[in-house]
Amino acid sequence: MVWRFVETAFCDTVSLQFTGTEVRLDRRVNANAGPMTRPTMIGRMLPAGS
């Protein structure tokens, strides 16, 4: 996905990867004072009944 922030110079590129019970979110930006790539966020499905 590309998130464009209308009327600004900024946009983020976000990708999701689903594998089994896990989802990974990677994000990078086109302009930033710091790193252009953000750390990967990882989500995991809880076992049934948790």
Pairing relation of β-strands 11-19 and 22-29? antiparallel
Single out the residue of 9, 8, 26 nearest to residue 43, CA to CA: 26
What Cα–Cα distance (Å) separates residue 12 from each residue in 15, 17, 19, 39, 49? 10, 16, 23, 14, 36
The domain ranges of the chain are 2-44
What pTM was computed for the model?
0.75
Per the CB < 8 A criterion, the answer to whether 13 and 2 are in contact is yes
Query: What's the pLDDT tens digit per position in 22-43?
Result: 999 999 999 888 889 999 999 9
Strand order of the sheet with strand 41-44? 2-4, 11-19, 22-29, 41-44
pLDDT band of 44, cuts 50, 70, 90: very high
pLDDT score, position 33: 85
